[in-house]
Amino acid sequence: MGSKTHKLPLSSIENLPFTSKTNEEKPKISCVSQSRFDISKYCDLCEIYREELAPTSVSVATIQSTTQKVAIKKIYKNCLVNDFQKTQAVQECSLHHSLDHRNIVKAVEWGEDDDAYSLVLEYIDNPTYFKEKIEDNLNPVKNELKLKSYMHDVLQGLAYLHSKGIVHGDIKIENLLLNTNEDQEQPMPTVKLCDFGLSRKLDKDTGKFFMEFPVGSLSYMAPEIKAKAYVDEKIDIWALGVVLYKMAVAYKPTQITGYKYGSGPIPFRKVDWRKRSPELQYLIVQMLNTNPAERISAEEALLHPWFKEECLSQEIV
């Protein structure tokens, strides 16, 4: 996986086809369900992520029979301290493998051996783009056409998950990956969701799930997330609202001195938002509604005026 900056051919974009993106893709790697993991099918392994004491690693590899690149995520058993964590690891692999959408990183195989659970994923060529641009370099997505496309992709992925009664549970900048070479006919690269380690399924009767204790990434956690709480898919929308705000200005609302969620309206400093469309600000306000019952859904957000064609001329160069 690379970290290059991709130059986008924006000059040729007149009608960005948000609503025409489908779940059709180029021919996929055939998917294999759980089995004894056979690492010998892969060659040229190169570890690209492993932190000390972390239970996971990620390597880039090649399928020997097809020469196609993949990524292999390993969850090491000796780092899982109890049966609950082992169950969670199996659930992550199984759930991720069951998903099939163009805006979700495809899991093509999973299995286990004596040392680890292994999840084989499609290769993403620019996975750290958003982290490096926004988190590390504090550089917002200034072009609103790009921002619309990126956010539309994420919302389509979330709408798919939520339609299946699945909550991602850890939406944040680092879990949005950019794939620049997927479809040469599309003027924009594709954004895909990854990391389903905290994902949960909603109860079919109540439409919620029970959260024994707060989990997630702290600065993206919705206000309703607390110990022994029943929550739903709207926690993903809150987190994505924080992501969208940060993509636009490279900081979160709570980084403005004195502001806390619920203490007043979402702050939009004129110096940073004067060239942004009002529809963008309105969408963020709807996503960051502290009342989850009134918070906009992924399906509703996809129909928001910000994505409509008449707003596309509001481009920031």
Residue 110 has a pLDDT of 95
Name every residue whose Cβ is closer than 8 Å to that of residue 212 and which is 6 or more positions away in sequence.
Answer: 227, 228
Which of 125, 170, 195, 236 is flagged as catalytic?
A: 170
CATH architecture of 39-122: 2-Layer Sandwich (3.30)
Tokens encoding 196: 């389903």
Residue 311 has a pLDDT of 41
Residue 308 has a pLDDT of 87
170 among known catalytic residues? yes
Determine the CATH number of domain 129-311: 1.10.510.10
Tokens 């900056």 correspond to what residue?
5
Identity of residue 194: C
As a whole number of Å, the end-to-end CA separation of the chain is 28
**176 — alpha (psi -120 to 50), left (phi > 0) or beta?**
beta
Q: How far is CA 81 from CA 102, 143, 153, 166, 260, in A?
A: 34, 45, 36, 26, 36
| Domain definitions of the chain by residue range | 39-122, 129-311
> pLDDT by residue (tens digit) across 121-136?
999 999 999 999 999 9
The CA-based angle 302-303-305, given to 5 degrees, is: 115
Write the burial class of residue 10 (CB in 10 Å: 0-12 exposed, 13-18 middle, 19+ buried): middle
Tokens encoding 47: 């570890």
How far apart are the C-alpha atoms of 7 and 197, rounded to whole Å? Answer: 32
pTM of the model: 0.86
Residues of the chain with pLDDT below 50 are 1-30, 311-317
How far apart are the C-alpha atoms of 215 and 224, rounded to whole Å? Answer: 12
Strands 176-179 and 190-193: antiparallel
